[in-house]
């Protein structure tokens, strides 16, 4: 079962790297916001994989708590980013 944990962990790292690449390379604002969220999903997946403690023991609750907090932060930050992006967009249309 160790392999499943590694698979999830490595997949998390790959998703993280893909998100990072998107956040750095995409020019469009919306694409960058989405890319950062993809990167966050990768980090959360890594943390969820870290929590696995074998088939007998229940998963470690602490990384799960980290993921929950991380999701809350990511949602609020995305909301703020979208709100700012909308304001920019509205101003550009006015011009």
Partner 1 sequence: MTDAMIWLVALPLAAALATLLLPRSATAVAIGSGLATTVAAGLLLFGVATQGALHYEIGGWSAGLGIALRADGLSALLLMMTALVALAASVYASAYFSAVSERARFWPLWLLLWTSLNALLLSGDLFNLYVTLELLGLSAVALASLGGKHAAVAAALRYLLVGLLGSMLFLAGVGLIYAGYGTLDLATLASVVEPGPVAWTALALMTTGLLLKTALFPLHFWLPPTHASAPAPVSAVLSALVVKAAFYLVLRLWLDVFADVVTPAAANLLGLLGAGAVLWGSWRALRVERLKLLAAWSTVAQLGYLFLFFPLLLAMPPGPARDLAAGGLVMLALTHGFAKAGLFLAIGIIQQRCGHDMIRELDGTAQRLPATTFAIALAGVALIGLPPSGAFLGKWQLLAGAVATGQWVWLVVTATGSLLAAAYIFRVLGHAFGHRPYPNQPVTVAREEWPALLLAAMAALVLGLAGAPVWGLLEIGT
Kindly state whether residue 23 participates in binding partner 1, applying the rule CB under 8 A: yes
Degrees (nearest 5) of the Cα angle 22, 85, 71? 60
Kindly state whether residue 36 participates in binding partner 1, applying the rule CB under 8 A: yes
d(CA 93, CA 35) in angstroms, rounded, equals 25
Kindly state whether residue 88 participates in binding partner 1, applying the rule CB under 8 A: yes
Kindly state whether residue 80 participates in binding partner 1, applying the rule CB under 8 A: yes
Backbone dihedral angles phi then psi of residue 49, each to the nearest 5 degrees: -65, -35
Burial class (CB in 10 A: 0-12, 13-18, 19+), 3: exposed
For partner 1, which is the closer residue by CB, 11 or 23? Answer: 23
Question: Which positions lie near partner 1, rule CB under 8 A?
Answer: 16, 19-20, 23, 29, 32-33, 36, 39-40, 43, 46-47, 50, 62-63, 66, 69-70, 73-74, 76-77, 80-81, 84-85, 87-88, 91
């Amino acid at each position: 079962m160790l392999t499943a944990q590694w698979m999830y962990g490595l997949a998390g790292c790959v998703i993280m790297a893909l998100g990072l690449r998107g956040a750095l390379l995409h020019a469009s604002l919306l694409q960058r916001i989405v890319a950062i969220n993809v990167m966050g999903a990768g980090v959360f997946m890594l943390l969820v994989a870290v929590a696995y403690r074998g088939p007998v023991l229940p998963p470690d609750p602490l990384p799960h708590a980290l993921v929950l907090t991380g999701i809350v932060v990511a949602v609020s930050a995305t909301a703020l980013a979208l709100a700012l992006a909308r304001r920019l967009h509205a101003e550009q249309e006015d011009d």
